[in-house]
Amino acid sequence: MSIKQKILIVDDDENIANLISLYLTKEMFDTKMVFDGESALKALPDFKPDLIILDLMLPGMDGYQVCRTIRQDSNVPIIILSAKGETFDKVLGLELGADDYMIKPFETKELVARVKAVLRRAESTIPESTKTAARIVSYPDLEVNLDNYSVRYRDRDIEMPPKELELLYFLASQPNQVFTREQLLDNIWGYEYAGDTRTVDVHIKRIREKINDHEAWAVETVWGVGYKFVTKMKRGETS
Protein backbone atom coordinates (compact mmCIF):
# COMPACT_ATOMS: atom_id res chain seq x y z
CA MET A 1 0.00 0.00 0.00
CA SER A 2 1.45 3.36 -1.04
CA ILE A 3 1.81 6.17 1.46
CA LYS A 4 -0.50 9.11 0.81
CA GLN A 5 1.18 12.41 0.02
CA LYS A 6 0.35 15.16 2.47
CA ILE A 7 -1.01 18.57 1.50
CA LEU A 8 -1.16 21.46 3.97
CA ILE A 9 -3.94 23.91 3.04
CA VAL A 10 -3.50 27.43 4.45
CA ASP A 11 -6.51 29.69 3.85
CA ASP A 12 -8.56 31.86 6.19
CA ASP A 13 -11.72 31.09 4.21
CA GLU A 14 -12.88 27.79 5.70
CA ASN A 15 -15.27 27.14 2.81
CA ILE A 16 -12.47 27.37 0.27
CA ALA A 17 -10.16 25.26 2.44
CA ASN A 18 -12.85 22.59 2.80
CA LEU A 19 -13.52 22.58 -0.94
CA ILE A 20 -9.82 22.13 -1.74
CA SER A 21 -9.52 19.41 0.89
CA LEU A 22 -12.54 17.57 -0.53
CA TYR A 23 -11.14 17.41 -4.05
CA LEU A 24 -7.62 16.48 -2.92
CA THR A 25 -8.97 13.77 -0.64
CA LYS A 26 -10.84 12.29 -3.60
CA GLU A 27 -7.46 12.12 -5.36
CA MET A 28 -6.07 10.12 -2.44
CA PHE A 29 -4.10 12.93 -0.80
CA ASP A 30 -3.94 13.36 2.97
CA THR A 31 -4.86 16.95 3.83
CA LYS A 32 -4.64 19.25 6.82
CA MET A 33 -6.31 22.66 7.00
CA VAL A 34 -5.11 25.69 8.98
CA PHE A 35 -6.51 29.17 8.80
CA ASP A 36 -3.65 31.55 9.62
CA GLY A 37 0.08 31.88 9.03
CA GLU A 38 1.30 31.08 12.52
CA SER A 39 -0.73 27.88 12.59
CA ALA A 40 0.80 26.91 9.26
CA LEU A 41 4.33 27.23 10.61
CA LYS A 42 3.41 25.30 13.76
CA ALA A 43 1.91 22.48 11.67
CA LEU A 44 5.04 21.89 9.58
CA PRO A 45 7.19 19.84 12.02
CA ASP A 46 4.49 17.31 12.91
CA PHE A 47 2.46 17.11 9.69
CA LYS A 48 5.52 17.20 7.38
CA PRO A 49 3.60 18.14 4.22
CA ASP A 50 4.77 17.15 0.75
CA LEU A 51 3.24 20.37 -0.59
CA ILE A 52 1.64 23.56 0.77
CA ILE A 53 -1.26 25.47 -0.78
CA LEU A 54 -0.87 28.97 0.60
CA ASP A 55 -3.25 31.94 0.55
CA LEU A 56 -1.67 35.40 0.72
CA MET A 57 -4.34 37.35 2.60
CA LEU A 58 -4.09 35.72 6.02
CA PRO A 59 -4.79 37.25 9.43
CA GLY A 60 -1.67 38.25 11.33
CA MET A 61 1.30 36.85 9.39
CA ASP A 62 0.47 37.11 5.69
CA GLY A 63 1.28 34.52 3.04
CA TYR A 64 4.42 36.33 1.87
CA GLN A 65 5.86 36.19 5.37
CA VAL A 66 4.91 32.54 5.71
CA CYS A 67 6.58 31.68 2.40
CA ARG A 68 9.73 33.60 3.32
CA THR A 69 9.94 31.91 6.71
CA ILE A 70 9.45 28.42 5.28
CA ARG A 71 12.14 28.99 2.67
CA GLN A 72 14.72 29.76 5.35
CA ASP A 73 15.09 26.07 6.09
CA SER A 74 12.74 24.05 3.87
CA ASN A 75 12.34 23.28 0.17
CA VAL A 76 8.79 21.92 0.49
CA PRO A 77 6.86 22.85 -2.69
CA ILE A 78 4.50 25.81 -2.30
CA ILE A 79 1.58 26.80 -4.52
CA ILE A 80 0.27 30.28 -3.80
CA LEU A 81 -3.50 30.59 -4.22
CA SER A 82 -4.62 34.19 -4.05
CA ALA A 83 -7.13 36.76 -5.25
CA LYS A 84 -4.16 39.04 -5.95
CA GLY A 85 -3.72 38.78 -9.70
CA GLU A 86 -1.32 41.62 -10.46
CA THR A 87 2.01 40.78 -12.08
CA PHE A 88 3.83 42.33 -9.12
CA ASP A 89 2.15 39.93 -6.71
CA LYS A 90 2.94 36.90 -8.87
CA VAL A 91 6.57 37.88 -9.33
CA LEU A 92 7.02 38.61 -5.63
CA GLY A 93 5.55 35.24 -4.68
CA LEU A 94 7.88 33.44 -7.08
CA GLU A 95 10.87 35.46 -5.91
CA LEU A 96 10.17 34.37 -2.34
CA GLY A 97 10.37 30.76 -3.43
CA ALA A 98 6.86 29.69 -4.42
CA ASP A 99 6.74 26.97 -7.07
CA ASP A 100 3.48 28.06 -8.70
CA TYR A 101 0.85 30.80 -8.43
CA MET A 102 -2.90 30.46 -9.02
CA ILE A 103 -5.50 33.22 -8.97
CA LYS A 104 -8.88 33.03 -7.25
CA PRO A 105 -11.50 32.18 -8.33
CA PHE A 106 -10.01 28.92 -9.56
CA GLU A 107 -11.07 25.66 -11.14
CA THR A 108 -10.63 22.82 -8.66
CA LYS A 109 -9.60 20.39 -11.40
CA GLU A 110 -6.85 22.76 -12.51
CA LEU A 111 -5.64 23.15 -8.93
CA VAL A 112 -5.46 19.37 -8.50
CA ALA A 113 -3.56 19.10 -11.81
CA ARG A 114 -1.08 21.74 -10.69
CA VAL A 115 -0.59 20.02 -7.33
CA LYS A 116 0.29 16.80 -9.14
CA ALA A 117 2.58 18.63 -11.57
CA VAL A 118 4.50 20.43 -8.82
CA LEU A 119 4.87 17.21 -6.85
CA ARG A 120 6.25 15.46 -9.95
CA ARG A 121 8.80 18.22 -10.40
CA ALA A 122 9.74 18.08 -6.73
CA GLU A 123 10.44 14.37 -7.05
CA SER A 124 12.77 14.97 -9.98
CA THR A 125 14.09 18.51 -10.31
CA ILE A 126 17.19 17.56 -12.29
CA PRO A 127 16.81 17.31 -16.08
CA GLU A 128 17.19 13.83 -17.57
CA SER A 129 20.35 14.89 -19.38
CA THR A 130 22.12 15.69 -16.09
CA LYS A 131 20.77 13.03 -13.74
CA THR A 132 23.93 10.93 -14.02
CA ALA A 133 26.21 13.92 -13.49
CA ALA A 134 27.53 15.08 -10.15
CA ARG A 135 25.04 17.07 -8.09
CA ILE A 136 27.78 19.52 -7.16
CA VAL A 137 29.35 21.82 -9.72
CA SER A 138 32.34 23.94 -8.81
CA TYR A 139 34.30 26.73 -10.43
CA PRO A 140 36.84 29.17 -9.00
CA ASP A 141 35.13 30.88 -6.05
CA LEU A 142 31.79 29.18 -6.76
CA GLU A 143 30.21 25.90 -5.68
CA VAL A 144 26.57 24.97 -6.29
CA ASN A 145 25.39 21.91 -4.36
CA LEU A 146 22.05 20.47 -5.40
CA ASP A 147 22.20 17.72 -2.77
CA ASN A 148 21.85 20.09 0.16
CA TYR A 149 20.65 23.18 -1.79
CA SER A 150 23.61 25.36 -0.91
CA VAL A 151 25.68 27.91 -2.80
CA ARG A 152 29.15 28.97 -1.71
CA TYR A 153 30.64 32.06 -3.35
CA ARG A 154 34.02 33.59 -2.46
CA ASP A 155 34.15 31.56 0.77
CA ARG A 156 30.68 32.72 1.86
CA ASP A 157 27.42 30.83 2.02
CA ILE A 158 24.82 32.50 -0.21
CA GLU A 159 21.11 32.21 0.53
CA MET A 160 19.08 31.31 -2.56
CA PRO A 161 15.46 30.16 -2.91
CA PRO A 162 15.19 26.69 -4.52
CA LYS A 163 14.28 27.87 -8.02
CA GLU A 164 17.19 30.33 -8.17
CA LEU A 165 19.59 27.61 -7.07
CA GLU A 166 18.17 25.05 -9.51
CA LEU A 167 18.41 27.57 -12.36
CA LEU A 168 22.03 28.41 -11.51
CA TYR A 169 22.89 24.72 -11.20
CA PHE A 170 21.25 23.88 -14.52
CA LEU A 171 23.20 26.58 -16.36
CA ALA A 172 26.50 25.92 -14.57
CA SER A 173 26.30 22.16 -15.13
CA GLN A 174 26.14 22.77 -18.90
CA PRO A 175 28.66 25.58 -19.47
CA ASN A 176 28.75 27.61 -22.68
CA GLN A 177 25.44 26.17 -23.85
CA VAL A 178 22.73 28.69 -24.74
CA PHE A 179 19.22 28.06 -23.39
CA THR A 180 16.13 29.97 -24.40
CA ARG A 181 13.82 31.28 -21.71
CA GLU A 182 11.24 28.70 -22.78
CA GLN A 183 13.77 25.87 -22.36
CA LEU A 184 14.68 27.12 -18.90
CA LEU A 185 11.00 27.32 -17.92
CA ASP A 186 10.46 23.77 -19.15
CA ASN A 187 13.47 22.34 -17.33
CA ILE A 188 13.24 24.22 -14.02
CA TRP A 189 9.52 24.95 -13.62
CA GLY A 190 8.16 22.10 -15.74
CA TYR A 191 6.10 21.87 -18.92
CA GLU A 192 2.83 22.49 -17.06
CA TYR A 193 4.01 25.80 -15.60
CA ALA A 194 1.57 28.54 -16.56
CA GLY A 195 3.85 31.52 -15.94
CA ASP A 196 5.56 33.65 -18.61
CA THR A 197 9.22 33.98 -19.56
CA ARG A 198 9.65 37.06 -17.35
CA THR A 199 9.92 34.60 -14.47
CA VAL A 200 13.30 33.49 -15.83
CA ASP A 201 14.51 37.10 -16.16
CA VAL A 202 13.50 37.85 -12.57
CA HIS A 203 15.39 34.83 -11.24
CA ILE A 204 18.50 35.60 -13.31
CA LYS A 205 18.44 39.17 -11.98
CA ARG A 206 18.27 37.86 -8.41
CA ILE A 207 21.15 35.45 -9.03
CA ARG A 208 23.30 38.26 -10.40
CA GLU A 209 22.56 40.39 -7.36
CA LYS A 210 24.02 37.65 -5.16
CA ILE A 211 27.02 36.49 -7.22
CA ASN A 212 29.06 38.82 -9.41
CA ASP A 213 30.61 37.69 -12.67
CA HIS A 214 34.07 36.18 -12.21
CA GLU A 215 37.16 36.39 -14.41
CA ALA A 216 36.78 32.64 -14.99
CA TRP A 217 33.00 32.47 -15.50
CA ALA A 218 29.81 34.53 -15.87
CA VAL A 219 26.05 34.23 -16.26
CA GLU A 220 25.65 35.85 -19.65
CA THR A 221 22.61 37.16 -21.51
CA VAL A 222 22.34 36.12 -25.14
CA TRP A 223 20.22 38.96 -26.45
CA GLY A 224 17.04 37.91 -28.17
CA VAL A 225 17.60 34.28 -27.19
CA GLY A 226 18.17 33.54 -23.51
CA TYR A 227 21.07 32.82 -21.16
CA LYS A 228 24.22 30.77 -20.79
CA PHE A 229 26.88 30.14 -18.16
CA VAL A 230 30.15 31.16 -19.81
CA THR A 231 33.46 29.72 -18.63
CA LYS A 232 37.03 30.11 -19.82
CA MET A 233 38.19 26.94 -18.11
CA LYS A 234 36.84 23.45 -17.53
CA ARG A 235 34.76 23.17 -14.40
CA GLY A 236 35.74 20.97 -11.50
CA GLU A 237 33.04 18.63 -10.24
CA THR A 238 32.76 17.02 -6.84
CA SER A 239 30.65 13.98 -6.24
What does pTM read for this prediction? Answer: 0.58
Q: Which pLDDT value is given to residue 73?
A: 82
pLDDT of 199-235, one tens digit each? Answer: 899 999 999 999 988 889 999 999 988 999 998 755 4
Residue 228 to residue 232: CA distance in whole angstroms: 13
Counting residues of the chain whose pLDDT is more than 70, the rounded percentage is 89
pLDDT at residue 125 greater than cutoff 70: no
pLDDT by residue (tens digit) across 153-175?
Answer: 999 999 988 889 999 999 998 88
- φ, ψ dihedrals at 219, nearest 5°: -90, 110
208 vs 125, residue with greater confidence: 208
* Residue pair 227/197 in contact by the 8 Å Cβ criterion: no
**Predicted local distance difference test score (pLDDT) of residue 8:** 97
Query: Mind listing the domains of the chain with CATH numbers?
Result: 6-123 (3.40.50.2300), 128-237 (1.10.10.10)
